[in-house]
A and B are shown apart, each in its own frame.
Chain A
Amino acid sequence: MINVLIVDDEPLARKELRRVLSKTDDINVIGECSNAIDAVGVINREKPDVVFLDIQMPRVSGIEMLSMLDHEKMPHIVFLTAYDEFAVQAFEQHAFDYLLKPVNQARLDKTLQRLRRDREPQKIDQLPGANQLRQIPCFGQHHVQLVRMEDVEHVASGVSGVYVVSTDGTERPTELPLHILQDRTPLLRCHRQYLVNTDCIEKINFLENGLAEISTKRGQVIPVSRRFFPQIKERLGIL
């Protein structure tokens, strides 16, 4: 049995895909999402085997959504698009599965056969845009907020999870782990538990024992650990 998640912002498109998939016995559609942000949550929770992912969606495109996932624990992705020359070119180049809408039955059968045979790990990193976060999805009680990179002051990891702290001081929890944020954003790792936006640094205070701390323009103090100090100095051009 292959567990499948459908992500598409058009309800009829989801319905149509569900209909064609339902003709096969070994495909189990575990859910549908109408946007990428919901999908990130569902993928992390339900861990589907395969995601049918539309590219053009509100706020966060299918490809940008990939940057919000841990590439080590990725489901297999089958891209969906009505028409997108550039994306299709990239898919061809890196041998990703994709389906054009309206879906052609024979083409779908081929894709499903491949899914059943072997699902080789996909090199998502190679897809342009899939490795770069422009905004961090933060989950409130009833809504998801996308915090743009320029609004992030720093990110902190604590016992209750990872928090994005905005330049105005607002803290918002995110499901993205620190190492993914470090890899896919310009944020700078200054401590085991902290990432900082270099644009927000006011000054760096040198302490004893080779330690230091960063003061942000807002007056927030962020610790710098000895381990990351050399990298910080290099990145900020301090000799």
Chain B
Amino acid sequence: MQINLVDLSLVLLQQMCVYLVVAYLLSRTKFFIPLTHVTIRPPHKLACYVIFSLFCMMGAILGMPVVHAIANTPAIGAVLGGLLGGPVVGVAVGITGGLYRYSLGGSFALAAALGIVAQGLLGGLMHRHLIRKGKVRTLFDPVKAGALTFVGVVLELLIDLAVARPFGETLEIVLLIAVPELIANTLGAAMFIGILLDRRALIERQSSLFSAKALAIAARADGVLRRGFNQENSMTVARIIYEETGVGAVAITDREKILAFIGIGDDHHLPGTRISSASTLDAIANNEVIYADGNEVAYQCSISPTCPLGASLVIPLVGEDSHVIGTIKLYEPKTKLFSTINRTLGEGIAKLLSSQILAGRYEQQKAMLAQAEIKLLHAQVNPHFLFNALNTIAAVTCDDPEKARDLIGDLSTFFRMNLKRPSQIAPLAEEIEHVNAYLQIELARFSDSLSVDIDIPDSLGRVRLPAFTLQPVVENSIKHGTSQLLRPGHVSIKARQEGEVLVVDVEDNAGLYEPKPTGQGLGMSLVDRRIKNCFGPSYGVTVASERDVFTRITIRVPLEAASK
């Protein structure tokens, strides 16, 4: 058989191409990922062993018989297996490949098998050497890998010469296959590493792109929804997500309405309008992510038939106890596909926003409690009131010791009831008792300029409301109302039943209420928020006022609380 050098080289290069195509295809699978990094863990080592053994055997199969030998490329698998997997993997690949080569037979079989083992060992030793020197990156250097394979092939040829007999024939064959094998194996190893590097760069680029997007959104949206889950803050967050992900449109909804919508279709998807999309309502009702890709699952905008949006991803925002508080929606137009990155990112964003909203609500509640405590402490030791009361009692003592005793009793009652915790619930009758004690002292202080009338039907005395609700309201009417008058002041406290609601009006004739006066609003809004916290948003405190004529503060609580 007459084989010339050039033909053999071409054949081996063709082989190498097939080999590399297989390598490339394999690189698209996830089996390949362990190979892109230095493998430490046993499962990765095993994957490394299996893959390179296969390559090694493939190199042997694809070989071209030359007399009694085979010109082939198993060196790539053996050397790289050792280089990337370490000495153990290298030798294991070498033995596997060697045994296989041996099974193919021929006068070169033993020599070639030994050569393959030697190549695996060579790669492994180089691996250990480089790791010890800390040059991990050099493992993935295509030129170095090619050079090492070159050395491996030379080693193999020497072993051939030493082991295969008769020597003359061996020498002839070795001279024939040396150059083609050297070229094919060296180039093949270098390009194999090149494929690995490309693959790794791709993975890293994708994951860094993903991380960068996620981090950018997290950083920009940080704390926005913590300040409250409302239209304004939702718009800010929606804009951030829209800008960072580059999707067609972004919407944020609460359970009822659209809070924010930015992007394609914002002419008819209007913030503030009710949710009309069935998939969104489903997502809210069932707490599940709903993805309509517009392909397998049909998507049609529920508002406008001409809407250019063609796919939507609805992710619920989840609050306490898996209660859905709203949704975040990503859209793509009909002309564009939903990228997997944006789908995954969307779910991550939803988690991030959910926890922000939760944190915000928690903080708000904490701040409210703290404020209540502070307010209560102030109330307990309102020094101005206390010393004025004592001064009044001092004045009364001489002329009317009996009255003085009464006032001391009132002062005791007042302070004793102030010691109630703000979280406690008290019946209206008890609140009135508290107010009464307070009023007795104020009436004594302003005897010539203050009058009060209280009209509470006995039947309402058992209605329950947060303790310390009524007194601050009445104190407010006197402190910021009647006591600022140059004419006589009057305060009336009236309770009535309106359907299932207890309504208490506290009205003064000063009319000095100003919507946001310094220091005054805090007490009122605190009372209001405590009632809302207890009974819900339809109850609380409202104010009506006409300048210089009257200020009426109205407290509403449910009657039914009496039975609780």
How far, in Å, is A48 (CB) from chain B's closest CB?
21
In this assembly, does A169 line the interface, its C-beta being within 8 Å of a C-beta of chain B?
Answer: no
Of A10, A11, A34, A59, which is within 8 A of B388 by CB? A10
Given the known interface contacts A10-B388, A10-B445, the answer about A15 and B395 at a Cβ–Cβ threshold of 8 Å is: yes
Q: Which of B40-48, B109-117, B146-154, B481-489 contacts A (4 or more CB under 8 A)?
A: B481-489
Within the complex, what minimum Cβ distance (angstroms) separates B537 from chain A? 37
A35 and B486 contact, CB distance less than 8 A = yes
B476 CB, min distance to chain A CBs, angstroms: 15
Is A102's CB under 8 angstroms from B398's CB? no
Q: Which of A92-126 contact B (CB under 8 A)?
A: 100-103
| Residue of A with least CB distance to B390 | A102
The main secondary structure of chain B at its interface with chain A is helix
Residue of A12, A34, A83 near B445 (CB, 8 A) is A12
Complex formed: what's the CA distance from A59 to B486 in Å? 8
A58, chain B: closest CB distance, angstroms: 5
B387–A83 contact, CB under 8 A?
Answer: yes
Most B CB contacts (10 A, CB to CB) among A12, A19, A59 go to A12
Residue from B388, B447, B448, B449 with most neighbouring chain A CB atoms (10 Å)? B388
Q: Which residues of B have CB within 8 Å of A59?
A: 484, 486
Q: Which chain B residues lie closer than 8 Å to A83 at the CB level?
A: 383-384, 386-388
Interface residues of A in 1-46 (CB under 8 A from B): 9-13, 15-16, 19, 34-35, 37
B484 pairs with A82, CB closer than 8 A: no
Contacts of B386 in A (CB 8 A): 83
Given contacts A12-B444, A58-B483, A58-B484, contact A82 B395 (CB under 8 A): no
| Cα A101 to Cα B385 with chains together (Å) | 11
- A185, CB-defined interface residue at 8 Å: no
Q: Which residues of B contact A58 (CB under 8 A)?
A: 483-486
Q: Determine whether B377 belongs to the interface, using a CB cutoff of 8 Å to chain A.
A: no
**Interface contact A13-B483, CB-CB below 8 Å:** no
In Å, the complex CA distance between A78 and B327 comes to 66
| A12 contacts B395, C-beta separation under 8 Å | yes
Task: Give Cα distance in the complex from A9 to B445, angstroms.
Answer: 9
- Closest beta carbon of chain A to B469's beta carbon, Å: 25
Chain B residues whose C-beta falls within 8 Å of the C-beta of A198 in the assembled complex:
none
| Docked complex Cα distance between A11 and B395 (Å) | 10
Any A CB within 8 A of the CB of B391: yes
Interface residues of B in 372-397 (CB under 8 A from A): 383-384, 386-388, 390-392, 394-396
Find out whether the CB atom of B391 lies under 8 angstroms from the CB atom of A82.
yes
- Which residues of A lie under 8 Å from residue B485 when comparing CB positions? 58
Q: Is the CB of B395 within 8 A of A19?
A: yes
Contact, CB under 8 Å: A10 / B446:
yes
A78–B472 alpha-carbon span in the complex (Å): 32
Chain B residues whose C-beta falls within 8 Å of the C-beta of A204 in the assembled complex: none
Q: Is A144 an interface residue (CB 8 A)?
A: yes
* Contact status A101-B388, CB under 8 Å: yes
A56 to B391, alpha carbons, bound, how many Å?
Answer: 14
**What's the nearest-Cβ distance from chain B to residue A193, in Å?**
31
| A9: chain B residues within 8 A (beta carbon) | 446, 449, 483
Complex partner residue of A12 from B387, B392, B484, CB under 8 angstroms: B392
User: Is the Cβ of B486 less than 8 Å from the Cβ of A16?
Assistant: no
Please, how many angstroms separate the alpha-carbon atoms of A34 and B445 in the complex? 12
Q: Are B448 and A102 in contact (CB under 8 A)?
A: no
- A interface size (C-beta, 8 A): 22
Candidate in A10, A19, A34 with the most chain B CB atoms within 10 angstroms:
A10
A199 touches B (CB below 8 Å): no
Interface of chain B residues 438 through 470 with chain A (CB within 8 A): 444-449
Q: Hey, what's the 0/1 contact readout for A139-155 against B, CB within 8 Å counting as 1?
A: 00000100000000000
Min C-beta distance of B427 to chain A, whole Å = 32
Residue of B with least CB distance to A38: B486
A36 to chain B, nearest CB (A): 10
Q: Is A84 located at the chain interface by the 8 A CB criterion?
A: yes
Cβ of A144: which chain B residues have Cβ within 8 Å of it? 486
A16 contacts across to B, CB distance below 8 A = 391, 394-395
- Closest-by-CB residue of A relative to B445 is A10
Give CA–CA (A10, B485) in the complex, Å: 13
B 387-420 to A, binary, CB cutoff 8 A, 1 in contact else 0: 1101110111010000000000000000000000
A40–B153 alpha-carbon span in the complex (Å):
114
CB–CB B392/A10 < 8 A = yes
- Give the residues in chain A near B396, CB-CB below 8 Å: 12
Residue on A nearest B482 in the bound complex, by CB: A58
Bound Cα distance from A83 to B486, whole angstroms:
22
- Measured CB to CB, the closest approach of chain B to A182, in angstroms, equals 27
In the bound assembly, the distance between CA atoms of A145 and B484 in angstroms comes to 14
The residues of A that contact B486 with a CB separation of less than 8 Å are: 35, 37, 58-59, 144
Give the Cβ gap from B478 to chain A, nearest Cβ, in Å. 11
Q: Which residue of B lies closest to A10 (CB)?
A: B445
Contact assessment for A13 and B384 in the assembled complex, using a CB-CB cutoff below 8 Å: no
A11 and B448 contacting across the interface, CB-CB below 8 Å: yes
Q: Give the nearest-CB partner of A85 in chain B.
A: B383
What residue in chain B is nearest A14 (Cβ atoms)? Answer: B395
CB distance from A143 to the nearest CB of B (A): 8
Is the Cβ of B388 less than 8 Å from the Cβ of A82? yes
Q: Which residues of A contact B446 (CB under 8 A)?
A: 9-11
Task: Name the B residues within 8 Å of A15 (CB-CB).
Answer: 395
Using Cβ atoms and an 8 Å threshold, which residues of chain A touch B448? Answer: 11, 34
Interface pair A100/B387, CB less than 8 Å apart: yes
Report chain B residues within 8 Å CB of A100.
387
Closest approach, in angstroms, between the C-beta of B434 and any C-beta of chain A?
21
User: Which of A34, A84, A101 has the most chain B CB atoms inside 10 A of its CB?
Assistant: A101
CB neighbours (8 Å) of B444 from chain A are: 12
Could you give, for residues 71-91 of chain A, a 1 whenever the CB lies within 8 Å of some chain B CB and a 0 otherwise?
Answer: 000000000001110000000
Contact A19 B388 (CB under 8 A): no
Given known A-B contacts A16-B395, A35-B486, A58-B485, A82 and B387 have beta carbons under 8 A apart: yes
Q: List 17 A-B contacts (CB under 8 A).
A: A9-B446, A12-B392, A12-B395, A12-B447, A16-B394, A16-B395, A35-B486, A58-B484, A59-B484, A82-B384, A82-B391, A83-B386, A83-B387, A101-B387, A101-B388, A101-B390, A102-B390
Task: Report the 8 A-B pairs with minimum CB-CB distance, sorted nearest first.
Answer: A16-B395, A82-B387, A12-B395, A101-B391, A83-B383, A102-B394, A102-B391, A82-B388
Add 5 more A-B contacts to A12-B391, A19-B398, A84-B384 (CB < 8 A): A9-B446, A10-B392, A10-B445, A13-B391, A100-B387
What is the interface of chain B, defined by CB distance below 8 A to chain A?
Answer: 383-384, 386-388, 390-392, 394-396, 398, 444-449, 483-486
